[in-house]
Amino acid sequence: MLFEKIKSPGLAHISYLIGDGSEAVVIDPRRDIDIYLEKAVEAGYKITKVFETHRNEDYIVGSNELKVKTGAEIWHADRMLDYQYGKAVEDGQEFKVGSLKFKAMHTPGHTPGSMSYLLYGYEGEPWMVFTGDALFAGDVGRIDFLGEENLEKTGSWLYDSIFNKILPLGDEVILCPAHGAGSVCASAISDREWTTLGIEKKLNPKLQVKNKEEFINLVGEMLEYPPYFKNMEESNLTRQELLANYQQPAALSAAQFTEAMEDDNTYIIDVRTEVSYASAHLPGSISIPLQNLPSFVGWFIPTGARILLVTEGEYPKEAIKHLYRTGYDNILGYLGGGIIKWHMTGRNSEAINTVTVDKLCKLLDNDSDDWFILDIRSEDELEEEGEIKYAEHIHLTQLPENYNQLPKNKPIYIFCGSGLRSMTAASLLKNAGYTNQWVVLGGLTAWNSTTCPVVNHQ
């Protein structure tokens, strides 16, 4: 038997490759499909089917890519939507993959037509359930995509799906969700790599409810989501342009890069480390370090924008993958040779001030007037790690709509957990006309200010 759990960093997306005999199926594939093809071929399997658990919002699904390469059948959920590819799976429909049996199970809530897929073992007993975004380790799927007015209805659907369909499968059944910790498809997914329905019944806070009404009250909230989700929803109903049809983004000379920058719909994304960006960066660029690119590009770059990349000079293979997965296809190229080559042509660069945590704490305690602390961490982080007293809290994703809350007549010290997100915030502020911002390097473990102590909520 073949079983591969394939994770996409940043998006916290999980897909699965399962095979038996000579056949294999992929569940919720991402757009760049080489990993499925390589693993299947290496193990001697042919991918014959693709199962989608729901219409995805946070990444481009790779079903059509797989069909073109392998001829695999595509079975999609949310049959009420206007898909332009594949076939709609039916509730209760069964599939054979070698000696294995899969059975589709309608589990609405996250979306109206969400499907889970139950895998039966060789003995004919339920073995694993692939729940998509219905049930996660430590959380359940968000139910707000149909709007606040439908929260009670979607919450009721999800309750019935989880408590009347999924959990009764048996405590020993292995849970295989479509996302792990860090996904925006739920608010508090646990970092349990492997779990079972029995473990979730005991440990998942969202399942410790007495009735449907309590469940709906617990999960029925409107959550943030990046603007690009709307584009994903539309793209995942169509035959998205195949990656094979795109030319590889090219290395651009400083002159070519400069010319491309002149278009108003062009965005420069610098994926280098925060300290590299602080030392020298191109005017007008946005700092999104590579590991944060999948999580934050959708908040600050409009879909359809022309994108230029700045790296240390190397080909930005991983950055391009992240962008393609989230539907950012218009990548013009990257700065060949990096910032060094830029400087060698005599072109201007800019810098961002930084300060270590310990130095900032001393500065605050010596001068209590001339400072402004901007804390861009999430509410969950504030709750878990503590809040800096007297700091202004604006989550990074909400920063562009709240610039008017920030002063221009005093230094702004930007704080997150490490400095990576703070550099993104500093670059946004700089592009918005702020000139005196400082990125705080380091996290709360080194915070030791008496003027601005850490307030714990626990």
- Torsion sign (Cα): 419, 424, 429, 434: positive
Cβ atoms within 10 Å of 295's Cβ, excluding its own: 23
User: Which helix (H) or strand (E) element contains residue 270?
Assistant: strand 266-270
Strands (E), 121-257: 126-132, 135-136, 139-140, 174-177, 195-196, 250-252
Rounded distance between C-alpha atoms, residue 66 and residue 64, angstroms: 5
SS3 call for 61:
strand
> Tokens 């296809």 appear where?
329
Backbone region of residue 242 per phi and psi (left: phi > 0; alpha: psi in -120 to 50; beta: other values)? beta
Tokens of 122: 């060789």
**Residue 260's CB: how many other CB atoms inside 10 A?**
16
Asked whether the beta carbons of 254 and 347 are under 8 A apart, the reply is: yes
Q: Which amino acid is at 425?
A: A
CA 220-226-229 angle, 5° bins = 85
Torsion of CA 135, 137, 139, 140, to 10 degrees: -10
Closest by CA to 219, choosing from 143, 161, 148, is: 143
Among the listed residues 176, 185, 361, 416, the single catalytic one is: 416
Residue 26's alpha-carbon distances to 32, 52, 180, in angstroms, are 13, 9, 18
* Amino acid (one-letter) located at 315: Y
- The tokens for 339 are 């910032």
Within 289-434, residue ranges assigned H as helices are 293-300, 317-325, 338-344, 357-366, 379-385, 420-431
To the nearest 5 percent, what fractions of the chain are helix, strand and coil? 35, 25, 40
Active site residue 361: no
Report the C-alpha gap between 284 and 429 in whole angstroms: 11
Catalytic residues: 416
